[in-house]
Structure formats: structure tokens, C-alpha cells
Structure 1
Amino acid sequence: MELLRAMCHISAPAGHETQLTEFVLRYVKQNMGQWHTTPAVLAGGEFQDCIILVFGSPRTAVFAHLDSIGFTVRYGRQLIRIGGPMAETGYRLVGEDSQGKIDCTLVVDEDTGALSYDFHREIDRGTELTFYCDFRETATTVQSCYLDNRLGVWNALRLCETLEHGIVVFSCWEEHGGGSVAYLAKHIYETYGVRQALISDITWVTEGVHPGQGVAISLRDSLIPRRAYVDRIRRIAAESGIPHQLEVEGSGGSDAKELQHGAQPWDWCFVGAPEDNVHSPDEIVDKRDIESMLALYRVLMRDL
């Protein structure tokens, strides 16, 4: 879990993913010599802060978003949400501006719900603040801010170790409306002819999806994937014997929304471990679900 711990400590709110992008690129360059297949690395320039890794003769692409939720400093001591973070008075927020390091406290107005910060000075407007990382690991769980989606990125990087054919994509902006997957998907489709995807992201513990019972295969969220493709994934999962659960939700979304709304005929399915305390400093995931997520991705990328 040391790779996951390191990534959870890196600030990468939507729109400012640069630090995590650089970390992932360093990790890839340092480790790809030991991987089963050495990928082509596409980054920088037209790809902005995103990364595409191309292995062998790909049939399927895995999308994992780099960014997280957070807050932007407005005027005075006002804060605006980046994405949909939970907000409670007392949450510890960190960042950096032209005057130095920041370690402040979130304040939620009881009457209006307006957000502000408590700090000994005013923070430069436009500064991004993120949850302070308190990474906790037990024999059965990991708990931290930003497991969504550092854990999806971890899964994608671990998948790279054994991947023979496939594409692994690290995208940006997912938590705040998206914007990168459209051009990434266009490039992948036009260059490699790939048009089926898995979404390596983290979902929710609900009354129907429970911790410790395996990775969740989502049959739908706010969007509905093509049933024929999802049924193929379900058959492969069933034959593998890897623990998994089926998720059915009416809300929520992922990088898949840009695939479905795009001009290319992409098939997609969200496959991810469930977490509790969503979008808070205390997100928690069962290690059994992490193990089954990686195991199922390895099988799916081989058999799809």
C-alpha cells in the first residue's frame, strides 16, 4: 500500500493535476522495464496533464482519473467547491500560495451553508485547498482522503505489471464536469481502433453493495451502458470465480459520460471497489475489494 499512500498525499484537485501526473510518469519510467510488456508513453502537448500508455495490440482501454475534489479560495475567506466534497466545520485543509504553506480549517455557516476557512492570514484568491491526508491502514482496510480516485490509479498502475495488450489512460477533470476524455477517446479510437472501455474508479457502499464482498460491476448509474457489453463482462467475471457484486444506481457518473456522449461508438462499464464515507477525509475501502478489483481487471483485459 505504499504506492497508494504516496499518491493520496499528493495534491491534485480537478484542473491542477500536474503534481500527480509527474509522479505517475516518474513511476512508469522507473518501473516499466520490469513489466511484462513495455508500453508506448503518450504525454504532454496535446494531451495536457493526461497520460496514455499503449501495450501491444490493444483491444480495450482502461480509464482512471487523476484528479480529486477540493476547494478554491474565492474572495476574502470564501471557498467554492471543486466537484462535490463533503463539508463539515473543522475539516483540515492544506495547500500553498505565494506566501507559503497553508494548513487551515474549513468553516460551514450553520444558517446559509456558505463555506469559508479559518487561518491566520488571507489566502491568495484562486488557491486550491485539499483535505489533509491522514492515511490509515489496518489488516483489513485502508482509509484516507482521495481513495477516489487514487485507488483507481493504483489499480491501473498495478495492472500495467502484467498487461500484454491494452491501453491505460490517466485522465483529468472528472470530478468537476470532465473535459479530457472526449479528446483522449477520439485519439485512441482514430489511432488504434479501440472502442471498448473499463472505468477504473471507486463507487459507493450502499444498501445493495457491501464492503468485503468483492469489486462492483455497475449495471447503470446516471447513464446506462450497452447491455450486450456489460453482459460479456458479467460472463467473464462469473467464469473467473473472482468475488464481485452487481451495482444498480440512478445517480452518479464517471469518465464514462464523455465516452457515451462522444462521437465514437464506445462501449463502457464501470468496475470498481466500493468505499464508505464518500468524498470526505475518511474514505474507507476493504482490502478484499481492492484485491478482487485488480484480479478482475487482469482477467477482463485478457479475455474481453
Structure 2
Amino acid sequence: MKFLFELLSKLSVSGDESEISKFLLSNILERSKSWKVQPEIYFGEEFHDCLLLKFGIPKTAVFAHLDTIGFMTRYQNQLIAIGSPEVEQGMVLTGKDGMGDVICKIIGDDESYFHDFPRGIESGTRLSFAQNIRIDDNFIQAAYLDNRLGIYNALKLCETLENGWVVFTTYEEHGGGSMPFLLRFIQENAPIRQALISDITWITDGVEHHKGVVISIRDKFIPRKVFIDKVLRLAEKSRIPFQVEVEAYGGSDGREIQFSPYAIDWCFIGAAEDYVHSPNEKVSLRDLDSMIKMYQFLMKEL
């Protein structure tokens, strides 16, 4: 869990993923020495802050987004949401501008939010929920489990993966935008026909804690049934606990795969959390374990 705690401490509000990207690259270069297969690693200005790892001869890609929801400062102490954070009076935010570190609280009403920092914060500064990690025998609770757990799962997969792409994307929480050039690069270099989205979903009236990883049949977008049925058959074969999600809202990097010019099937698979997009996101450790095991199984079978 030490590495997960380090992940959770990094700031990466959408559009500002450089810090976590550099942290991941350094970690991957060190950890990959003990992985079953040494991947080809693609990074740099050509890919902005994204990272791509190519293992063997890929048939399937796993995508995990690096960014989080948050806020941007505006004039007269105003705050503008990035993504869709849940906001309550008094929530603590952290960040840094050209004059130093910032720790402040949210004030205001449902339509206009402000910060209470004793000086003006430079306009355009990104702020994140202050981190407070809590863990016991059953749950982990913190800010940004979405999508730090998706990243953690993807890196655990790398330890045993022989064939496949593992791709860390940006901008997902605020409209996307990195997937088109990533998909083009993949399809031009080692094309795939299927993809899994390593992300975190929601606890709802049909999805519960401790019941296993969630395989999503649909959110706002609907992947192809033939592929979903294939994933579900393999999940049954695995005997790893899982549950099925059917929702009318929400989205992920799967949306951009579906809207791309490439015939790539996709499926969202991830643990579910309570208190979504708040400082208190809560995930069952059993469900996280199921997520890790399911990805390792599926990437051998797909």
C-alpha cells in the first residue's frame, strides 16, 4: 500500500498531469526490472503527459486516466469547477501558485463558490481536495480513488502481463482529448481490436460494496453486446467475484474509443465507490482485490 499512498499524494487536476506522469515514469523504470516482460515505453512531448507501455504482441489495451477533478481560481477569489466535484461549504483545498503553497476552504452557495485564502490566489491556479487517507480491514477512503485505484490496478497488471498495451491517459475528467492521438499511435504501431477501461464506478441501488469488481454493460454510452457477452463469459469462468452495472449516466475513456474512427470494442471494469468526486471516496478492499485479479485473468484470455 505504500506505493498507493504515494499515488494518492500527487496532484493532477485535469490539464496539469505532469507531476504524476513524471512520478509514474520514474516508478515504471525502476519496477519494470522485475516484471515478467520488459515493455517498450513511450512518453515525451509527442504524447504530452500520457504514458504508453507495449508488452509483447498486443491484442488488447488497458486505459487508466491520470487526472482528477478539482477547481481553478478566477478573479475576486472565485472558484470554477474542473470536472464535476461534489462541493460543500468548508471543504479544504490545497495547491500552489507563483507565491507559494495554498491551503484554503470553500465558501459560497450552490451557484457561486469562493475561497477564503487571506491573499489573492493567482488566476488559473488549480486546487485539489486536501488528502486524508483512511484504511481499515474492509475499506480505503480518500480523495481521488477515482482514478488512483485504476492506475494502481494497471500497474499491478504490468507485473505479469505478457501481451498488451497499458496506457495512462489525461483530461478524462473534463471532456477528454488525449485518446484520439493515443489511439492513432496504437493503431499505427501495434493495432488492437479490444480495450478495457481501468477506472472506478459508483455504488448504486444495484451495485454494492464487497460484491466484487463491476463489469459495466452501459453508462451513458453503450459498448457492443458481442464483446460484453464475451467478457461476462470469461468473468464467469474466472470464478472471481464480480457484479454487473447498468446505468443511464456517466462516462469514461470508453466514450472516446466508441467515437473514434477505429473498430475497437471496449468494456469498463472497475471497483465501485461511495461519496463519488468528494474528499471521502470509499472503496471496498475486497472489490479492489477482485479488480486486480480480474484484469490479470482477462488479459490472458482475451
Q: TM-score, normalization: structure 1?
A: 0.98
Question: What residue number does 1:231 align with?
Answer: 229
Name the SS of the counterpart of 2:150 in structure 1. Answer: helix
- Displacement of 1:191: 1.3
Structure 1 Cα separation of the partners of residues 184 and 247 of structure 2: 28
Unpaired segments ≥5 residues, structure 1:
none
Matched, 1:33 2:33: yes
How far is 1:108 from its partner?
Answer: 2.8
Letter in 2 for 1:301: M
Aligned match for 1:248, one of 215, 224, 246: 246
Which stretch shows the higher mean deviation, 247-256 or 180-189? 180-189
Whether contact under 8 Å (1:189, 1:195) holds in the other structure is no
Q: Does 1:261 pair with 2:242?
A: no
Mapping of residues 280-299 of structure 1, within 5 Å = 280-299=278-297
The code of the aligned residue for 2:120 comes to E
Residues 96-122 of structure 1 deviation map (CA, whole Å, 9 limit, x = unaligned):
00110000001132xx52111011111
Within 2, Cα distance between the matches of 1:108 and 1:65?
Answer: 30
Q: Structure 1 residue 196 and structure 2 residue 194: aligned?
A: yes
Query: What's the CA shift for 1:45?
Result: 2.1
Name the SS of the counterpart of 2:63 in structure 1: strand
Give the residue type in structure 2 aligned to 1:73. Answer: T
1:60 touches 1:198 (CA, 8 Å); kept in 2?
Answer: yes
Following the alignment from structure 1 to structure 2, what is the Cα–Cα distance between the partners of residues 278 and 191?
Answer: 36
Q: State the partner residue of 1:85.
A: 85
1:24: which partner in 2? 24
Q: Pick one of 218, 221, 229 that aligns with 2:219.
A: 221
Provide the C-alpha distance between the structure 2 equivalents of 1:170 and 1:284, rounded to a whole number of angstroms.
Answer: 23
Give 1:195 deviation, angstroms: 2.2
Q: CA separation in 2, counterparts of 1:22 and 1:66?
A: 11
Q: Which residue of 2 aligns with 1:212?
A: 210
- The amino acid of 1:159's aligned partner reads L
Query: Are 1:274 and 2:272 matched, yes or no?
Result: yes
Aligned residues of 1:172 and 1:179 also touching (Cα < 8 A): yes
Structure 2: distance between partners of 1:119 and 1:190: 49
| CA distance in structure 2 between the aligned counterparts of 1:2 and 1:118, rounded to whole angstroms | 33
Q: What is the Cα deviation at residue 266 of structure 1? A: 1.1
Shift, 1:95, TM fit: 0.3
SS at match of 1:299: helix
CA distance in 1, matches of 2:57, 2:190: 8
Partner secondary structure for residue 102 of structure 1:
strand
Give CA-to-partner distance per residue, 1:231-272, whole Å, 9 cap, x none: 110000001100000000000000011100011111000000
Report the secondary structure of 2:128's partner residue: strand
Deviations 1:172-218 (A, max 9, x none): 00000000011101111121121210000000000000000000000
**How far apart are the structure 2 equivalents of 1:247 and 1:76?**
43
Q: Which runs of 4+ in 1 moved over 2 A?
A: none
- Measure, in 1, the Cα distance between the counterparts of 2:108 and 2:152: 33
In 1: Cα distance, 2:275 partner to 2:164 partner: 32
Separation in 2 of the partners of 1:45 and 1:211? Answer: 40
Q: Identity rate of aligned residues, in percent?
A: 48
- Partners of 1:108 and 1:150 in 2: CA distance: 29
| 1: CA distance, partners of 2:2 / 2:274 | 21
Cα pair 1:87 1:108 within 8 Å, conserved: no
How many residues in Structure 1 have an aligned counterpart in Structure 2? 302
In the other structure, the counterpart of 2:68 is 68
For 1:120, the equivalent position in structure 2 comes to 118
SS of 2:127 mapped into structure 1 = strand
Give the distance between the partners of 2:108 and 2:294, measured in 1 at CA: 41
Partner of 2:94: 94
Q: Which amino acid in structure 1 is aligned with residue 258 of structure 2?
A: Q
Distance, in Å, in 2 between the alignment partners of 1:189 and 1:217 is 25
CA RMSD, aligned part only?
Answer: 0.7
SS in 1 for 2:81: strand
Q: Give the match for residue 53 of structure 1.
A: 53
Whether the aligned pair in 2 keeps the contact of 1:94 and 1:129 (CA below 8 Å) is: yes
Q: Where does 1:1-20 land on structure 2 (aligned, <5 Å)?
A: 1-20=1-20
Q: Using the alignment, how far apart are the partners of 1:222 and 1:165 within structure 2? A: 30
The CA deviation at 1:46 is 1.4
Which whole-Å CA distance do the structure 1 matches of 2:180 and 2:126 have between them? 25
For 1:27-49, what per-residue CA distance to the aligned partner results, in whole angstroms no more than 9, with x for missing partners?
A: 10011000000000000121110
2-structure distance, mates of 1:212, 1:108: 37
Distance in 2, matches of 1:221 and 1:132, equals 29
